[in-house]
Structure 1
Amino acid sequence: MIVGGLLTPIEDVLTAVLEWFHASVGLTWAWSVVALVVCVRMLLVPVTVRQIHSMQNLQAHMPEMKEIQQRWKHDRQRQNEELMKFYKENKINPASSCLPIVLQIPIFISLFYVLRDFEKEVFVKYPESALDFLGLVDITEPTKNGWGPLLLVIYVASQLSSSYFMSGTMQKAQRILLMVLPIVFIPFIIQFPSGLMIYWLTTNLWTTGQGLVTRRMMPKPDLSFAKDKTKPTAPAEEKASATKKASSKPPAGQPPRDGKGRAVAGPPRRVRRKRGGHGRR
């Protein structure tokens, strides 16, 4: 296949890494796949750091973006134009959160070809080795065999959790799509070798842990300015009530009056008697 030919260099590198982990480190083939994930994610650390910084920047500007969406909620085209302008002015790249996954797609496809011909090209060199993972599945057999469906359920759960952390700064429609895709792909991935599920399951666990750390690192959005803009300065009722109260106070020296302007009898005045009045004769 053309794709397989283009990815041949990556396939050779993956095969060499798996053989090194198995022959030199002493890991089984299944755990060599897990170690391969760790190596790939370590190489992607610079991209991941850039992704985290972009997410932090996006989270810090989230209140302003919400304001733009609210302002142009009835004009979707203008809303998108204003958001793109805002992204450019503040150097925000919303797609950066998907960059680590995009870079892993060639590796995932290459590993598929490696595992497909693994027994013929690699396993024959190590006839005494085992291809099982915890005695549950064979990494070269389809996921639907043996305990593969259980592995598939764990994979879907891990994919949903990792997608949840990745889509924290996405719009609602994009977030729903990203959460639904793992379920939609089940009929396809059930035919994949179990070793691929182990690879992607380990990747999802890594992404989930990374998401937990990222959430602690990301600053909470400052909503103070948004509250100031939405908070009314002084409702008309309060102004009218204050004016009415001020006008209802009678001038000094005059009795209080009711709402119709009639005088209201107040409490009786106490008259203090002067001491030392007329004495008895």
Structure 2
Amino acid sequence: MNEQRNLIFAVILSALILFGWSFVAEHYFPTANEPSTKAADGKQAPAKTAAPTAGGAAAIRNRDVVIRETPRIRIETPRLQGSINLKGARIDDLVLVTHGERLASDSAPIRILSPAGTPDANFASFGWTGEGLALPGPDTLWTASADRLAPGAPVTLSWSNTQGQTFQIRLSVDDGYLFDVQQNVANRSGGAVAVKPYGLISRVGESKDADSWTIHTGPIGVFGGKANYDVDFSTLREEGDQRFTSNGGWLGFTDKYWLTALVPPQDAGVEAAFRAGSNNSYQADIATAPGIVAPGKAVSYESRLFAGAKEVALLDRYEKDLGIRHFDKAIDWGWFYWFERPIYSVLHWLFRMIGNFGVAIMGLTLLVRLIMFPIAQKQFASMAAMRVVQPKMKAIQERYKDDKQKQQQEILKLYQAEKVNPMAGCLPILIQIPIFYALYKVLLLSVEMRHQPFALWIKDLSAPDPLTPVNLFGLLPFTPPAVIAIGILPILVGFTSWLQFKLNPAPSDPVQKQVFSIMPWAFVFIMAPFAAGLQLYWVTNNVLTILQQKWLYSRHPGMKAAADAQ
């Protein structure tokens, strides 16, 4: 009775995980897609509040034309190229030269910032609010100290009003994706002035990467020492501005792989806000307390702007070296952060050692199987023992069929006497769940895994297997719908799962037997939309399990005989 209960429990658990996965994944777990970036455009309003509010979109025009219309200084780093608009002192033209939109060698680089009024526009701006003095605004034309911004070659933007104040923005950039922004105000007038520095990121439109229960896209920040994934674009539209006060932290907008974020001094109190404006525009901004600039004096304020790919090593470096709190949480690792980071670290180490990400996944699978080997050995030994005691158990069930309580007591005594654990078979299933989920998150979220090839037709392990027999492997001139575009790897998942189940002792219950016979082929459809890397992990795990079963059968011939007799 307990053995049947154990098998039923395992079947139900597997069914919930696997059969229910399609429904759950559709609503909560994004499948592998071609990565995209969504940045947008907004207009900076006059500086009257803590920070200018997000405005509506300008008319959409050709990006190259817009860029040529205003004076600019070039941005050139190992990872970034673009320009800074001297009209309004906006960082609004930026591409990631080491990340392409597509796999093709001639693919355009990912564009993360774009000027107002252009497709996929997004910009960062820095300025001041205050009363009783002329302030630089979105139409101010700044003077630059150089025509090029590069690592080790900073640029200072300057503008003076007619009241005796000079405003400067000193920009520097590192070899990653971080800009250092120093805002200075010098007061040459006869009276003190109060100014309040701010920084903002403005965009129009939502991320093309879906925001889900497991992967957050949209507004993101760290306030009061905690990462906040609760605000999304719909929150801003339906509930209005979301305001925070914090000591340090950071805020911005995130896509699956890309991030634009403002980073204030980590020891300063700041006012932070996410805002929604007209025409589907959004803004993230920070501001500090007003500073009083006495006559003949100057004040400065330093902040940072991150605009780039969420590369784990860089995020960790900025968190450690610059003290940016929880900057690694720009990647929504989720509840299993403590487990996913080690999985990522091992996988990335294997990749560096081997040079092929697919082989690294296979190596990780082998390591997991080695770690789980003692557990699997106990599982098989327990299953073998269960088969041995099954005749005795059936005799007890027949003898006490009218006394269920006595039947359970006698079966429990039998288990104790034979040293059999009926629950041992469920443990490997339970252990596999967090491993599978952790690898799912790593493959889906880590930009380091994006566009990584394996072998033959697998050119991108973060995307689904592209080769499907539905269109005769590309010979027929049509692309099948995703629901039936079943690749080679998902088919191998189903076949190896079928082999694995065939090696297991068949359950005595006909319903359970039918479920086990259907389940491997359900895997084919369940796994088809997911990343090829995840499919490769599953196939490798199945193959190793089959080999392990063969070896353990050689150690437990009684179990093999029982299986063959089914």
- Indicate the TM-score class for this superposition, using the shorter chain for normalisation: 0.5 to 0.7
In structure 2, the partner of 1:192 is 530
Deviations 1:101-137 (A, max 9, x none): 320110101111111123x2x248xxxxx62222222
Q: 1:152 to 1:185 in 2, by over 3 A?
A: closer
SS in structure 1 of the partner of residue 487 of structure 2: helix
Aligned to 1:45: 373
Q: Which residue of 2 aligns with 1:204?
A: 542
Structure-2 separation of matches of 1:80 and 1:131: 57
Offset of residue 79 of structure 1? 10
Q: Deviations over 1:10-59 (max 9, x none)?
A: 22111111111121x22300010000001101111221222132123223
Cα drift, residue 2 of structure 1: 6.4
* CA deviation vs aligned residue, 1:73-113 (integer Å, no higher than 9, x gap): 98796897465564355332233223223201101011111
Shift in alpha-carbon separation, 1:141–1:79, aligned structure 2, 3 A? farther
1:136 is aligned, of 439, 442, 457, to 457
Output one character per residue of 1:49-73: Cα deviation in whole Å (capped at 9) or x when no partner: 221321232232233234446x379
Distance 1:17 1:67, change over 3 A: same
8 Å contact from structure 2 (residues 490, 525) kept in 1:
no
With structure 1 as the length reference, what TM-score do the two structures score?
0.64
State the SS of the aligned residue for 1:133: coil
> Counterpart in 1 of 2:391?
63
Structure 1 gaps of 5+ residues are: 125-129, 224-281
- Number of equivalences: 211
Aligned mates of 1:206, 1:117 — CA distance in 2: 26
Q: What is the aligned counterpart of 2:521 among 174, 180, 183?
A: 183
Matched residue, 2:471: none
Q: Does 1:22 align with 2:351?
A: yes
Q: Shift in Å at residue 169 of structure 1? A: 6.4
Q: Give me the TM-score of the superposition, normalised by structure 2.
A: 0.34
Does the C-alpha gap of structure 1 residues 217 and 61 become closer, same or farther in structure 2, counting only changes over 3 Å?
A: same
Distance 1:149 1:2, change over 3 A: closer
> Any residues of structure 2 matched to 1:1-281 within 5 Å, and which?
1=213, 4-23=333-352, 25-68=353-396, 71=398, 81=408, 83=411, 86-118=414-446, 120=447, 122-123=448-449, 131-137=452-458, 138-143=460-465, 145-147=466-468, 149-166=487-504, 168=505, 170-172=507-509, 173-220=511-558
Identity level (%): 25
CA distance in 2, matches of 1:78, 1:180: 35
Say if 1:72 and 1:78, in contact at 8 Å, map to a contact too.
no
Amino acid in the other structure paired with 2:508: Q
What's the offset of the Cα at 1:170? 3.9
**Take 1:60 and 1:46, find their aligned partners in 2: how far apart are those partners?**
21
Larger radius of gyration: 1
Structure 2 counterpart of 1:156, one-letter code = G
C-alpha spacing 1:163/1:49, structure 2 compared with 1 (3 Å): same
| Partner Cα separation in structure 2 for residue 75 and residue 191 of structure 1 | 50
Q: Which has the higher helix share?
A: 1
Asked whether the 8 Å contact 1:37–1:202 carries over to 2, the reply is yes
CA distance in 2, matches of 1:163, 1:216: 17
CA distance in structure 2 between the partners assigned to 1:135 and 1:189 by the alignment = 20
CA contact (8 A) 2:443 2:449 kept: no
The 1:171/1:6 distance shift into structure 2, 3 A limit, reads farther
- The root-mean-square deviation of aligned C-alpha atoms, in Å, is 3.1
Specify whether residues 174 and 68 from structure 1 end up closer, same or farther in structure 2 by C-alpha distance, changes over 3 A only.
farther
Q: Could you say if the C-alpha distance between residues 48 and 135 of structure 1 is closer, same or farther in structure 2, counting changes exceeding 3 Å?
A: same
Cα distance in 1 for partners of 2:401, 2:487 equals 46
SS of the residue corresponding to residue 423 of structure 2 reads: helix
Q: SS in structure 2 opposite 1:94?
A: coil
The CA deviation at 1:193 is: 0.7
1:227 corresponding residue in structure 2: none
Contact 1:136/1:146, CA 8 A, preserved across alignment? yes
Alpha-carbon distance in 2 for matches of 1:65, 1:6: 42
Q: 1:171: Cα distance to partner?
A: 3.4
Query: Letter of the aligned partner of 2:464 in structure 1?
Result: P
Unaligned runs of 5+ in 2: 1-212, 216-332, 469-485, 562-566
Relative distance call for 1:83 and 1:157 in structure 2 (3 A) is farther
1:175-207 CA distance string (max 9 Å, x none): 432332232343332111111111011111111
Question: What one-letter code is carried by the residue in structure 2 that aligns with 1:5?
Answer: G
